């Protein structure tokens, strides 16, 4: 539409009232030919059968060294009373040309099909800065939570939007066909291929469907004991997770979460106390570390009247005291206990905790090792689980004294 100026009556998005200069790019010249060129221009033996009408294609030049690949197309721009007659220019490019090949030009719009590196993405943004035109990125996030993906999904901005199409939006498939398609992908690719959730590698830490652990929020019964976990941070967030334990079924419910970065202790402390100053707070062993500025972190929170546990979070000793050094604070032991509970229906999370589920979707291993990035709420949950035996019931209301005597 931007290239031809032929906007349908229902279109209420950005419109160009003059010819445009646009790039469309893919991974390699061959991939660009078989994807964006085919979509826009048609197949190599049927140019004019793509999204650009045949009568709008004036001329085209071939790309050297790649059979049937188009380098540049000149397109007729017009079709409305308010649109100036003229010619738009469409150039096909590829990421394997390198960032330098994406320099210099001034563009109205760009379409990037398949994910590019951050260097090319920022270079393309620069190309559109003069005319403030759109940059479209279309891809399945098979590379995981890259900087480009992170920018769209986790860095809110009025200048960016992420739209996801899932397998459930493909209504031309029957439910049985959709189920077969999902089953055909390896487990570690399914959420990326069918839901657009960034892939977490072949080593998913929690290969459990969200639907198995997600529950709608409800008031916590008074007889359920509660505990909180805290993960310290600054450049990465300080986080909290609040757990309630249903002892009758041995089920843990994560009913609240907190995640804020680059804020002082006094701000975090107020947030934790507001959720229940009586709830004990489990914390990691690095809270014992001395700091150049004075008391360690655990002491700083304790000074703010946060109910910090007397010791850092750790699993209970096994009978006979046969624990290996460090096993009582083992990250692996913690995540395995969480996974076991998830798989057996004994770990539930309130559905509105978006920060928690955001981390859950991205938690993965690389080369067998847990990737310690964007796991703050999950870590806080793990610390609370490790100290679950110290969870407490909410205190009963205390009768107070007024100037005129007792009151209920």
> Would you name the residues annotated as active-site residues?
114
Query: What distance in Å separates the CA atoms of residue 19 and residue 1, rounded to the nearest whole number?
Result: 11
Distance, CA of 309 to CA of 302 (rounded, Å): 9
Q: How far does CA 193 lie from the centroid of its chain?
A: 15
Q: Which of 357, 384, 369 is nearest to 284 (CA)?
A: 384
Residues 208, 343: Cα–Cα separation, whole Å: 7
Scanning the structure block, which residue is given the tokens 């459930």? Answer: 168
Alpha-helix residue ranges (DSSP H) falling in 103-171: 118-127, 147-154
The Cα 111–Cα 22 span in angstroms is 8
CB atoms within 10 A of CB 37: 27
Say how far apart CA 345 and CA 51 lie, in whole Å. Answer: 49
Residue with the two structure tokens 């001329």 = 59
Q: Token pair for residue 78?
A: 């017009």
What is the dihedral sign for C-alpha 196, 198, 203, 204? negative
Assign 104 to helix, strand or coil.
coil
Token code pair at residue 355: 């920060």
CA distance 333 to 324: 12
Taking phi over 0 as left and psi of -120 to 50 as alpha, with beta for the rest, 3 belongs to alpha
Residue 225 φ/ψ, nearest 5 degrees: -80, 150
CA-CA distance, 357 to 275, in Å (whole number)? 20
Q: Is 209 within 8 Å of 342 (Cβ atoms)? A: no
Helix (H, G, I), strand (E, B) or coil at 309: coil
CA 29 to chain centre: 30
Q: Which tokens is 229 given?
A: 């976990």
Contact 60, 97 (CB under 8 A): no
Whole-angstrom Cα Rg for the chain: 28
């Amino acid at each position: 539409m931007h290239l031809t100026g032929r906007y349908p009556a229902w279109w209420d998005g950005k419109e160009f009232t003059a010819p445009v200069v646009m790039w469309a790019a893919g991974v390699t010249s061959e991939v660009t030919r078989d994807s964006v060129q085919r979509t826009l221009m048609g197949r190599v033996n049927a140019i004019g059968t793509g999204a650009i009408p045949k009568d709008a294609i004036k001329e085209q030049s071939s790309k050297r060294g790649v059979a049937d690949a188009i380098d540049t197309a000149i397109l007729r721009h017009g079709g409305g009373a308010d649109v100036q007659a003229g010619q738009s220019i469409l150039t096909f490019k590829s990421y394997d040309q390198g960032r330098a090949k994406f320099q210099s030009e001034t563009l109205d719009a760009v379409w990037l099909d398949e994910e590019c590196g951050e260097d090319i993405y920022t270079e393309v943004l620069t190309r559109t800065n003069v005319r403030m035109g759109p940059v479209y990125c279309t891809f399945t996030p098979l590379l995981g939570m890259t900087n480009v993906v992170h920018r769209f999904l986790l860095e809110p901005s009025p200048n960016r939007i992420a739209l996801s199409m899932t397998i459930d939006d493909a209504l031309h498939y029957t439910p049985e066909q959709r189920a077969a398609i999902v089953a055909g992908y390896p487990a570690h690719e399914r959420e990326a291929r069918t839901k657009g959730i960034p892939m977490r590698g072949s080593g998913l830490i929690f290969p459990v469907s969200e639907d198995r652990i997600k529950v709608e929020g409800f008031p916590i019964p008074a007889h359920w004991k509660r505990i909180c976990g805290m993960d310290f941070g600054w450049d990465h967030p300080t986080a909290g997770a609040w757990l309630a334990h249903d002892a009758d079924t041995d089920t843990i419910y994560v009913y609240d979460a907190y995640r804020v970065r680059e804020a002082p202790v006094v701000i975090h402390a107020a947030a934790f106390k507001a959720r229940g100053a009586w709830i004990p707070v489990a914390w990691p062993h690095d809270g014992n570390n001395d700091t150049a500025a004075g008391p360690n972190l655990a002491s700083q929170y304790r000074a703010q009247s946060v109910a910090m546990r007397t010791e850092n979070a750790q699993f209970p000793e096994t009978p006979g005291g046969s624990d290996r050094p460090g096993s009582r604070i083992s990250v692996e032991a913690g995540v395995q206990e969480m996974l076991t509970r998830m798989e057996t229906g004994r770990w539930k999370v309130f559905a509105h905790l978006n920060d928690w589920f955001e981390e859950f979707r991205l938690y993965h291993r690389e080369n067998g090792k847990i990737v310690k990035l964007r796991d703050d709420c999950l870590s806080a949950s793990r610390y609370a689980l490790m100290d679950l035996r110290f969870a407490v019931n909410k205190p009963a209301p205390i009768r107070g004294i007024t100037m005129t005597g007792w009151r209920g």
